[in-house]
Amino acid sequence: MSRRSCPAWFISAPASNHGKTTVTAALALWHRRQGRHVRVFKCGPDFIDPTILERASGHPVYQLDLWLAGADACRQLVYDAAQEADLILIEGVMGLFDGTPCSADLAQLLGVPVLAVVDVAGMAQTLGALACGLANYRPGLRVAGVLANGVASARHEEMLQQGLPAAIAWLGSLPRRQQFSLPERHLGLVPAAEVADLDTRLVAVADLLGATALVDLPPPCDFDRVTGASPAVTGTELRGVRIAVARDAAFSFAYPANLDVLRGMGAQLSFFSPLHDAALPVTDSVYLPGGYPELHLPALQENHAMRQSLRDHVAAGKTLYAECGGLLYLLDELTDKHGQSGRMTGILPGRASMSPRLQGLGYQALTWRDGVLRCHTFHHSLTVTPLPPVAHGERLFNTSEGERVWQQDGVTATYLHAYFGSAPLAAAALFTGSSRP
């Protein structure tokens, strides 16, 4: 078995909103500025945090999700990165032990030491008890050190260090400054392209991290090559099929691994903007991933030429696959959280409106004729359509009915975000017109 070694950190926390993304991005940027090749991964199905991590590291950020992709695929992705990287950083999801599977499961599988980022507002010596809990809750998991985020003063830092046991290293601190916080909205952080001063924020945090123990690379971890980590494909399933993928500020939730799967089956990918382009590129199929169409209603509504180009594509009998935000764009009308409405493409009958409450969250499996696609859902909108669903997702943790899937002519649309690598042949069928439940 082939093996590669590379220094690595797994950045986690006791819960969400402790600063994992800020620290991971700033740490990647600091080491990148030292001339190191840094590869960053994001644990879980998140689309948004990776945009910030990609900006900081200068490289595409892939998701490591034990349920969507499987253990072998996650191990192979990290092994591949270790071929070229000087440092690997993996940002966890939520708290270290939250979810099934959780960040700790991935850190333990990969053998990567955990760097715990802790927001210490309102805390002093109790940091030691919290760190002990993280370090000792699960045998075999290594919590190597703590970074205190939000330290108020030199005296505050002294008290924090007093409580920390000798077995857990103090790796430094960040001061309590509002400008270090990254802006958020209803689906999480604001994507990198929309944060005008993101680079300034990350440079400021990186400069501070450069004065901590994190300037030293962690010890190397050994990563093994995995045989048969991906489902077998011939490379010809989509040979010659041209797929146009929407990519702009309104539609950006596409896994890099999904695009790799399509290319690996022979597809020729091109990209277009429903916000700015007047027509589709020459294509056989269209992929409308999720995103934030509700934030761009006037531009989407006023781009009559693109809306007509998509309608002409479907009328010509060609295929189109849409996920979540892509689904909303296919409807007659979309209403944002302020009650403002915009006309969408009208390719599928129905309307959607944004809700202040979360309407869908969690893993679901979609059983298709060509395989079982593993998916997740995360949305705040409600869709009303007269179309009967052709299938439903199956929830991972309960038996209630999952997200609906609609098909009409060559269109397949759903709130589910599919991980194509979980069932490549089922994914291929979405773009060839042979997709059936």
C-alpha torsion sign, points 360, 364, 368, 373: positive
Beta strands 341-343 and 391-395 are unpaired
Q: Are 279 and 320 in contact (CB under 8 A)?
A: no
Assigned token pair, 178: 């509002």
Q: Are 61 and 201 in contact (CB under 8 A)?
A: no
Mark 199-225 as b/e (b = at least 16 C-beta within 10 Å): eebbbebbebbbebebeeebeebebbe
Catalytic-role residue among 6, 43, 74, 324: 324
Q: Is the peptide bond before 219 cis (omega within 30 degrees of 0)?
A: no
- Cβ-Cβ contacts under 8 Å for 190 (sequence gap 6 or more): 48, 182, 183, 184
Backbone angles phi, psi at 404, to 5 degrees: -80, 150
Among 305, 284, 297, CA closest to 341: 297
Our answer to whether residue 102 is catalytic in this structure is no
Among 220, 223, 9, CA closest to 114: 9
Residues designated as active site: 324
